[in-house]
Amino acid sequence: MPAPVAPSTARAFGPALRIIGVGFRREPRPLAVAVLGSFVYGVMTVFTARVIGHLVGTIVTPAVRVHQITSAQIWTIVWELGIVVLLNAIGVVCRRVGAGMAYYNLIAHYRRQVTRQYLRLPLAWHHRHPSGQLLSNANADVEATWSIFQPLPLALGVVVMLVVGVVEMLRIDVWLALIGVLVFPTLFAVNAVFRSKMSPRATRAQQLRGEVSEVAHESIEAALVVKAMGREEQETERFAERTNELRGAAIEVGRVMGIFEPVIDAIPTFGTLAVLAVGTARVQAGDLSAADVVQVAYLFALLAFPVRSFGWVLAGLPVTLVGWTRIDNVLSAQGSMAYGDRALPADGSGALSMRAVDFSYEGGGTSDLSSKDSASVGGAQVLHGVDLDLAGGSLTAVVGPTGSGKSTLTNVALRLVDPDSGEVLVDDVRLADVRRHGIPAAATLVSQETFLFDDTVRGNVTLGGPYDDADVDRALRIAQARDFVDALTDGLDTRVGERGATLSGGQRQRIALARAVIRSPHLLVLDDATSAVDPTVEVAILDGLRAEAQRRGSRSTTLVVAYRLSTISLADTVVYVERGRVVDTGTHAELMDRCAPYARIVSAYADDAQDRADAKAAAGQDVQPVDAR
């Protein structure tokens, strides 16, 4: 994926200013405190030099001349300088705490916004964006955007500092001020050149740092496969390649920094020397006192360092822009699902029908957050004109080869994704007309890939719904999860870890089943939801589901994606799909009769066993008689 190229500082200036404006509107109070604090700091920094100059002129020099000093004079020194020091410190506290609060408030706010948007945007949008990129958007991009607010208030204070400083110099002497007027803009210009040279190199290093981390992430997640196939060397080479590129890029950054840092350091020093030379001449001409010269020299020393903050702001602008572009593309992403205002009937039976449903995953695989969403590039069509009719209270099995679109079909059935064309109805209500959260209230999916939250067992089953422990207990029992949950150290209150890491695959699946069962949905969709469960356990689960339906006396509709004959034979109807098309619908017996590919899949094990038995028998007759039963 082509990484976004950071725009040059000059090009970034205008747009970045607008982003800064957004930040100011969002966090006006802390930023006002920070900027005011910074102004105080700027003025007080200049005043430090002024007060020292003033004290040297009015107290020190006379005192030295008369070889005598009064305690009143000492007090003047203490309180005049003391006030300046105190105000300066208050300014710094306001500036840094204000800027820090604004920054952290902003990133917290935008993190919430971005994740809200992730939760709001439809699944189709998620399919288009790699999850790694979405995570780094909520993390690194948000930080990058607002990190400009760390040096910005300082830089604004420095503007004030420079203005006051130059006024101060003018007040003392035009010629010395002229040196300042030459030195500080030069410093600024050198800084700008520095940043423009630096920005592309820094961006490149940053980008490589991201790539190194991506390779490490992927490779370490693949650790088991890498080990099992003995690919450690190959992976290390892949990592080393990126790492060495990063090293090269970082050294380039160092080279530019190595040149500019001493130059930026030296400029104010030369300014000070010039002040000394010119100042001496002016004293000789009788226009200035020694104290004046010292004061201006001191001013140069004080101003030299803060002026660098301009450099930090300039460097930050392109970073801000790139980060914001990505955030903004998430925040302004369209294509949210439109909801109607209808509810699914409370006493419905979960009858499901699909009319001429087409569905495609959008092409190009995934798209980059740095560019605006170009919806629908027209990818591979996965479902073609699917028609389905599940009578209320019926059990329907969907059977089809791997990759034929079964999981996709289950997602369409619950409107997790919208079909390209055609419509889906539950209890005769078009799903597109149902209000937000109306579908989960009546229909539930247990997906093929189990997802558990980093929460307790109870939290994972109830998901915050109004269920008591008796409900949870019953659901766990039906899902055959009671026994192992009881055996966990804290029972229902055991935390399952990141994505349920502390549980085995079969255990995770059973928790996910309990989560569906507890909701007593009208329409229950199981997508190969027991693949990691032993056959014995699976039978018990299916029996439990049936008993539960009878107990409630309700008619609920079930759609299962399954291969096992035990499941299929329970089904009233079987739907056979292949390459995204419904090839045949009927009872198991009917399909066995007339749909050869279906028969091949369903009886694959039996046929295989038969073939082998035959082969064995044939071979066995030559060697030894087998006990044929």
Partner 1 sequence: MSTSTEERSDTRTRHLGDTESLGTWAILRRGLTLSPELGRGFSITLALALVATLGQVLVPIAVQQTTDKGILAAGGPDVGLVLRLVIVVGLAVLLTSVASYAVNLRLFRSSESGLATLRIKGFRQIHDLSMLTQNAERRGSLVSRVTSDVDQISKFVQSSGLTLIISSAQILIATALMLFYSPELTGVVWVCFVPLFLLLRKFQARIGRAYLAVRERVGDMLGAVSESVVGATTIRAYGVEDRTAERIDVAVEAHRRAAITAQVRTVSAFVSGQVVAGVTTIAALGVGTILAAHGRLTIGELVAFLFLVNLFTQPVQTATENLNELQNAVAGWRRVIGLIDTPADVPDPGEGGVDLPPGPVRVQLQDVGFAYPGGAAVLHDIDLDITPGSRVAIVGETGSGKTTIGKLLTRLMDPLTGSVLLSGVDVRRIRFSSLRSRVVLVPQEGFLFDASLLENVRFARPGVSEDEVLLAFATLGLGDWLDGLPGGLATAVGQRGESLSAGERQLVALVRAYLTEPDLLLLDEATSAVDPATEVRIQRALERLAAGRTSIAIAHRLSTAEAADEVVVVDRGRIVQRGAHEELVADKGSVYARMHASWSAQSS
Residues found near ligand ADP in the complex (CB under 6 A): 127, 361, 382, 400, 402-408, 504
Q: Under the criterion CB under 8 A, does residue 139 sit at the interface with partner 1? A: yes
In the block, which residue shows the tokens 């200049």?
46
In the complex, least distance from residue 383 CB atom to ligand ADP, rounded to whole angstroms: 8
Among positions 303-332, residues that touch partner 1 (CB under 8 A) are none
Q: In this chain, which stretch among 12-20, 189-197, 543-551, 621-629 interacts with partner 1, using CB under 8 A?
A: 621-629
Dig out the tokens for 351 from the structure. 């009858």
Q: How far apart are alpha carbons 428 and 344 in whole angstroms?
A: 9
Q: Under the criterion CB under 8 A, does residue 279 sit at the interface with partner 1? A: yes
Dig out the tokens for 477 from the structure. 């029992």
For 354, other C-beta atoms within 10 Å of its C-beta total 22
Q: Which amino acid is at 223?
A: A
The entry of ligand ADP, Mg ion, partner 1, none near residue 190 (CB within 5 to 8 angstroms by kind) is none
Of these, 24, 175, 188, 361, which contacts partner 1 (CB under 8 A)? Answer: 361
In the block, which residue shows the tokens 């039906």?
478
Q: Under the criterion CB under 5 A, does residue 219 sit at the interface with Mg ion? A: no
| Beta carbon nearer to ligand ADP, 405 or 438 | 405
Sheet with 573-578, side-by-side order of all strands = 443-446, 523-527, 557-561, 395-399, 573-578, 581-586
In the complex, least distance from residue 409 CB atom to ligand ADP, rounded to whole angstroms: 7
Among positions 190-209, residues that touch partner 1 (CB under 8 A) are 209
Q: Under the criterion CB under 8 A, does residue 181 sit at the interface with partner 1? A: no
Of these, 2, 25, 224, 341, which contacts partner 1 (CB under 8 A)? Answer: 224
In the complex, least distance from residue 10 CB atom to partner 1, rounded to whole angstroms: 26
Of these, 14, 28, 403, 491, which contacts partner 1 (CB under 8 A)? Answer: 403
3-state helix, strand, coil split of the chain in percent (to 5) is: 65, 10, 25
The entry of partner 1, ligand ADP, Mg ion, none near residue 270 (CB within 5 to 8 angstroms by kind) is partner 1
Of these, 86, 167, 547, 589, which contacts partner 1 (CB under 8 A)? Answer: 86
Dig out the tokens for 540 from the structure. 């018990």
Answer for the pair 479, 517: CB distance below 8 angstroms, yes or no.
Answer: yes
Of these, 5, 11, 280, 374, which contacts partner 1 (CB under 8 A)? Answer: 280
Which residues, 6+ apart, have CB-to-CB distance to 39 below 8 Å?
91, 156, 157, 160
Spell 173-210 as b/e; 16+ CB within 10 A means b: bebbbebbeebbeebeebbeebbeebbbbbbbbbbbee
The entry of ligand ADP, Mg ion, partner 1, none near residue 197 (CB within 5 to 8 angstroms by kind) is none
Phi, psi of 584 (to 5 degrees): -155, 150
Q: Under the criterion CB under 8 A, does residue 119 sit at the interface with partner 1? A: yes
Which residues, 6+ apart, have CB-to-CB distance to 406 below 8 Å?
398, 400, 527, 528, 561, 577
Of these, 67, 623, 624, 625, which contacts partner 1 (CB under 8 A)? Answer: 67
Phi, psi of 397 (to 5 degrees): -105, 135
| Beta carbon nearer to partner 1, 10 or 240 | 240
Q: Under the criterion CB under 8 A, does residue 72 sit at the interface with partner 1? A: no
In the complex, least distance from residue 254 CB atom to Mg ion, rounded to whole angstroms: 51
Q: Which residue is nearest to Mg ion (CB)?
A: 407
The entry of ligand ADP, partner 1, Mg ion, none near residue 447 (CB within 5 to 8 angstroms by kind) is partner 1
Q: How far apart are alpha carbons 43 and 474 in whole angstroms?
A: 71
Among positions 33-62, residues that touch partner 1 (CB under 8 A) are 52, 55-56, 59-61
Nearest to 575 by CA among 587, 592, 558: 587
DSSP 8-state class, residue 3: P
Nearest to 204 by CA among 4, 9, 368: 4
Q: Under the criterion CB under 8 A, does residue 401 sit at the interface with partner 1? A: yes
Answer for the pair 404, 580: CB distance below 8 angstroms, yes or no.
Answer: yes
Among positions 97-116, residues that touch partner 1 (CB under 8 A) are 97, 100-101, 104-105, 107-108, 111-112, 115-116
Q: What angle do CA 16, 20, 22 make, to 5 degrees?
A: 115
In the complex, least distance from residue 14 CB atom to partner 1, rounded to whole angstroms: 30
Answer for the pair 318, 8: CB distance below 8 angstroms, yes or no.
Answer: yes
The entry of Mg ion, ligand ADP, partner 1, none near residue 629 (CB within 5 to 8 angstroms by kind) is partner 1
Q: How far apart are alpha carbons 325 and 372 in whole angstroms?
A: 9
Q: In this chain, which stretch among 11-19, 232-240, 388-396, 551-559 interacts with partner 1, using CB under 8 A?
A: 232-240
In the block, which residue shows the tokens 């028969």?
599
Among positions 141-170, residues that touch partner 1 (CB under 8 A) are none
Q: Under the criterion CB under 8 A, does residue 29 sit at the interface with partner 1? A: no
Q: Under the criterion CB under 8 A, does residue 532 sit at the interface with partner 1? A: yes
Among positions 593-612, residues that touch partner 1 (CB under 8 A) are 597, 600-602, 604-609, 612
Q: In this chain, which stretch among 164-172, 249-257, 389-397, 424-432 interacts with partner 1, using CB under 8 A?
A: 249-257
The entry of partner 1, Mg ion, ligand ADP, none near residue 583 (CB within 5 to 8 angstroms by kind) is none
| Beta carbon nearer to ligand ADP, 504 or 569 | 504
The entry of Mg ion, ligand ADP, partner 1, none near residue 290 (CB within 5 to 8 angstroms by kind) is partner 1
DSSP secondary structure letters along 425-447: EETTEEGGGBPTTHHHHHEEEE-
Sheet with 381-390, side-by-side order of all strands = 381-390, 352-360, 421-426, 429-430
Say whether 368 sits in a helix, a strand or coil. Answer: coil
| Beta carbon nearer to partner 1, 16 or 294 | 294
The entry of partner 1, ligand ADP, Mg ion, none near residue 522 (CB within 5 to 8 angstroms by kind) is none
Among positions 435-494, residues that touch Mg ion (CB under 5 A) are 448
Site string for Mg ion, 401-430 (x = CB under 5 A): ------x-----------------------
Distances (CA, A) of 601 to 6, 405, 500, 560, 563: 54, 16, 33, 16, 8
| Beta carbon nearer to ligand ADP, 280 or 421 | 421
In the block, which residue shows the tokens 């269920």?
467
Nearest to 44 by CA among 335, 243, 306: 306
Nearest to 364 by CA among 376, 356, 352: 376
| Beta carbon nearer to partner 1, 414 or 429 | 414
Q: What angle do CA 421, 426, 429 make, to 5 degrees?
A: 80
| Beta carbon nearer to ligand ADP, 307 or 574 | 574
Dig out the tokens for 61 from the structure. 């020099």
| Beta carbon nearer to ligand ADP, 367 or 558 | 367
Residues that bind Mg ion (CB under 5 A): 407, 448
